Structure 1
Amino acid sequence: MDGFLSPADLTALGVTLRLAMISTGLMLVLFTPLAWGLARMRSSSKAVFEAIVALPLVLPPTVLGFYLLIALGPRGVVGGALESLGFGHLAFSFSGLVIGSMIYSLPFVMQPLQNAFQALDPRLMEAAATLRASPLDRFFTIAVPLASRGFLSAAVLSFAHTMGEFGVVIMIGGSIPGETRVASIAIFNHVETMDYAAAHGLAGVLLVISFLLLLGVFAVNRRFARITGPGA
């Protein structure tokens, strides 16, 4: 690997993988209750919330990154509040990248989870309620296990999507070596300097990782389908 990727590329790849792991873990924890609530919502305002969740799919990444930069910067709502409390702002920091990645990958977590929760048989939850199981017990003992395929899809899609981010991360993180320079930015820098061999090497690594992630989730889903049947 040392002869295939330069030390700087290895560092950028490490930042990318760390960003993807942290962002994905936080999204699964924080967005699962939101997906559950949205799946059970029957209000007419549900379409508004679904549009907000799906907005990063159509919004140009640089636009999202620009507004995040404003919000997380020293004069922004979030960054300014942190500055007044004695903390540093989050622009051009790894923590800012995590926040931006979570917002940018929001639909890739929410939609698989929401679909999985909506596919649950409500009679199972009703049966557990008649046995005096609390709402929290019903969620963790019935809803979460039955939605495991949705969790797998959400984790893999958000992880792979985070690895390929460019527009958002360069707007709010820049290209600080070892801190905010991710693999996609490193590839862009190689192309700018006409170093196509280095760009090929790093791009190939991301291509292989993304393919293996998707191959794994499709294989697991096919195995689940064979075990539980097509209607499960």
Structure 2
Amino acid sequence: MIWQPLLLSLKLGVIVTAVMLVITLPLAALFTRVRRRWLALVESFATLPMVLPPTVVGFYLLIAFAPTSPWGAWLERTIGLRLAFSFPGIVLASCIASLPFMLQSLKSGMQGLDSRLWEASYSLGKGRVETLLRVILPNMRPALFSGMILTFAHTLGEFGVVLMVGGSIPGQTKTISVALFERVEALDFAVAHRYALVMVVISYTAVLALNLLQRVQLERRS
């Protein structure tokens, strides 16, 4: 039972990181390459979960996912999918909450590249998708890895959004952060220490990987 929330959190982190990588890569290219003022509205909306309290994000997502909402009712009626208090629901909620972390990392990586890379690829007959995947992506690996590490670590430690949307269903929505909160509420500090220690180790490993990645990047530039 102690390992079940951790395994669920790791599964959630891997899925969210993979989904965010696919979604935010074209978004980062759009925000970097296209000069339109109205895109600032879209980018600000995508970045909003970074500054909003997680409970606020979780509350509105719970309202949207509820079976009584138009979208929630349509999903359950059409494909039999209930997002509120389910694993698919916390996956989608975590994707929304973690989107800014991957998006900002990839955008920063693209902005640091020479813009002539895009033009050179286009002049050689490469399309936008092929240019993005075969030219731009290999040249921004540090930013890519940073985004993946930040997204995974943030998803693993997310509490407010997951609790609001998923509750605490063992094996389905009870992640390690939710389990830690419950053990503290029950004054079971022995088990709470185990959960907390695991999260400290994983978080420290993520921070260490980021720092090493940045140092390697600086050494290559120098």
Q: Could you tell me the TM-score, scaled by structure 1's length? A: 0.91
Please point out which of 67, 80, 84 is paired with 1:91: 84
Distance 1:77 1:120, change over 3 A: farther
2:111 alignment counterpart: 118
Give structure 1 stretches of 5+ with no counterpart. 1-7
How much does 1:220 deviate? 2.2
Choose 55-64 or 102-111, whichever is displaced more: 55-64
Give structure 2 stretches of 5+ with no counterpart. none
Q: Could you tell me the TM-score, scaled by structure 2's length? A: 0.95
d(CA) in 2 for partners of 1:44, 1:85: 38
How much does 1:86 deviate? 4.3
Choose 118-127 or 182-191, whichever is displaced more: 118-127
Say yes or no: does 1:153 pair with 2:149: no
Say yes or no: does 1:76 pair with 2:74: no
Say yes or no: does 1:169 pair with 2:168: no
Measured against aligned partners, the alpha-carbon deviations of 1:126-182 in whole angstroms (never above 9, x if no partner) come to 122222222222212211111111110110001000111111111110000111000
State the one-letter code of the partner of 2:152. Answer: F
State the one-letter code of the partner of 2:207. Answer: L
State the one-letter code of the partner of 1:74. Answer: P
Runs of 4+ displaced beyond 6 Å: none
Choose 125-134 or 160-169, whichever is displaced more: 125-134
Q: Secondary structure at the match of 1:74?
A: coil
Distance 1:156 1:77, change over 3 A: farther
Say yes or no: does 1:225 pair with 2:204: no
Identity %: 42
Q: Is the 8 A contact 2:117 2:136 kept in 1?
A: no
Distance 1:86 1:25, change over 3 A: closer
Report the count of equivalent residues.
222
Say yes or no: does 1:182 pair with 2:175: yes
2:134 alignment counterpart: 141
State the one-letter code of the partner of 2:212. Answer: A
Say yes or no: does 1:130 pair with 2:127: no
d(CA) in 1 for partners of 2:196, 2:15: 22
Say yes or no: does 1:203 pair with 2:196: yes
d(CA) in 1 for partners of 2:141, 2:42: 24
d(CA) in 2 for partners of 1:143, 1:209: 30
Choose 78-87 or 143-152, whichever is displaced more: 78-87
Please point out which of 17, 29, 49 is paired with 1:24: 17
d(CA) in 2 for partners of 1:169, 1:130: 46
